[in-house]
Amino acid sequence: MSSLALSLPPLAFRRVLWRFPEAWVWAVSIGCGILLLLPVSTAAEGHHHGHPGPLELSRFLWHWIPMVFAMMVPLQSGQLRLVAQRSLWRRRHLAMALYLCGFVLPWAACGLIVWAGTQYLPIPPATWLVLAAAWQLTPYKRRALGACHRTRTLSPSGWPANRDCLLAGLLASRACLASCWLLMAACGAFAHGLLLMIGLTIFMWVERLADRPRQVVYATALLGLAGVMVLLESGKHH
């Protein structure tokens, strides 16, 4: 059966998936990015002290989860490809899906905490960025960033394989949270402001792919961004 199917000229997308099994994850992430562009429950609602105010939990998560997929999941593409490569062929996409579950669940929990923060302890986005700048200068940040690249062995089949994929995602999420949670909190506190999300996405890619540690430069960039946000907010007041 399979040999007959495979003897037919493979479709282009199938050939892409052979070599880049994580391609569908990219498609999901791009879809989530487009979703965030749609003009539904945007930051325009409920301004509070000059910046977007708190959102209902459901609306908050409606943005938070796509934001995680659009901003954080693509950073895992190398890990996802490795998870697929280290899995039996018939399990490749299941393995990636389980890894994604393990990766997204802690981020969803983080979203709940950030939402609670916006409700009961409203911290301006610029303050989150200042905290993120300070976090950049600690050895914990650098260690967490290094841990984002870590790989783990997977059992080849059965429930141990499912468990290992889920666990790999959870552990990757832990490192990713330690590295980037303040940046994502800033986005959440800004009710997912689009320009801030784009700016921080670029920032996280640069930081992740950098060939040398530039903690001071990164911290300065985040302080600059915080300053821009303060200026914009004060401009709105006037």
Which residues of this protein are in contact with another protein, per CB under 8 A? 2-3, 6-7, 10, 15-16, 18-19, 82, 85-90, 143, 146-147, 149-157, 160, 209-213, 215-216
Three-class SS state of 1: coil
- Least Å distance, CB 87 to another protein, is 6
Q: Residue 8 or residue 38: which is nearer to another protein going by CB?
A: 8
- Least Å distance, CB 62 to another protein, is 34
Q: Residue 46 or residue 146: which is nearer to another protein going by CB?
A: 146
- Least Å distance, CB 235 to another protein, is 35
DSSP 117-147: HHHHS---HHHHHHHHHHHHTSHHHHHHHHH
- Least Å distance, CB 89 to another protein, is 4
Three-class SS state of 51: strand
Q: Residue 90 or residue 237: which is nearer to another protein going by CB?
A: 90
- Least Å distance, CB 180 to another protein, is 18
Strand partners, 48: 51
Nearest to 182 by CA among 212, 225, 236, 119: 225
How far, in Å, CA of 84 to CA of 78, rounded?
10
- Least Å distance, CB 19 to another protein, is 6
Nearest to 154 by CA among 233, 113, 229, 99: 99
Q: Residue 81 or residue 192: which is nearer to another protein going by CB?
A: 81
Tell me if 114 sits within 8 A of 188, measured CB to CB. yes
Three-class SS state of 52: strand
Tell me if 226 sits within 8 A of 189, measured CB to CB. no
